[in-house]
Amino acid sequence: MTARAAGSRGSADGGPGDDPGAPPPDDEAVAVPDADAEQVARTILLDQLTGRARSRQELATKLASRNVPEEVAERLLDRFEEVGLVDDAAFARTWVEGRRSAKGLARRALAQELRRKGVDDEVAREALAEVEPDDETETARELVRKKLRSMRGLEAPVATRRLVGMLARKGYAPGTAYGVVREELAARGDDVDALDGAGEPD
């Protein structure tokens, strides 16, 4: 058989040598293996965890945004939990401590933030239970004192409304906010008896 004849037979058989540039038939298409998706997910997780802790839900959301298959994401997140790299309880404690220190947030505001991070309510409650009521009141007092430095000359009713509003935005209960503001205004010499309930909760 001549080389020409052999080439003709290869064409008739439809062998893969006919057109090296043609895509393989559908049944020969190679799917991306789970191992590759897992490696991508692992890289994303390690990158996300560099610098600060994150909640499991935050990490799951990031993996989903990068099109990591859900089953691969869940499997890898479970592994990271087993070795302690993902720990919502530790994350919640760190978040509470950091946000109280940096922003002076009260437990109510912190609970809302943890919920947005996907932390389970029971886990959040355990972290928030470490904040003593007296510590929260003292933090509110420090916030008011700091703000009062820029309120020289403001009449007490105006200062009261602004200060109570500031504390409310940080999650402090109305009673706590108004009580602290009233005490601090009295300490600087304001006539708090003349406030007529300015900023006081109903």
Start-end of H helices in the chain: 3-13, 34-48, 56-65, 70-82, 88-103, 107-116, 121-128, 133-148, 156-169, 174-187
80 near 86, Cβ under 8 Å? yes
pLDDT (tens digit per residue) in 92-139:
999 999 999 999 999 999 999 999 999 999 999 999 999 999 999 999
Q: Whole-structure pTM over 0.95, yes or no?
A: no
Please, what is the average pLDDT of the chain? 84
pLDDT at 191: 75
Rg (CA), the chain: 31
111 near 73, Cβ under 8 Å? no
pLDDT (tens digit per residue) in 133-173:
999 999 999 999 999 998 888 888 899 999 999 999 999 99
Euclidean distance between the first and final Cα of the chain, in Å? 104
Residue 22 DSSP class = S
Residue 22 has pLDDT above 90, yes or no: no
CA distance 158 to 198: 8
CA atoms within 13 A on the CB side of 19: 7
Work out the percent of the chain whose per-residue pLDDT is above 90.
Answer: 67
Written as six digits, the tokens of 41 are 């997910």
Residue carrying the six token digits 């309120």? 151
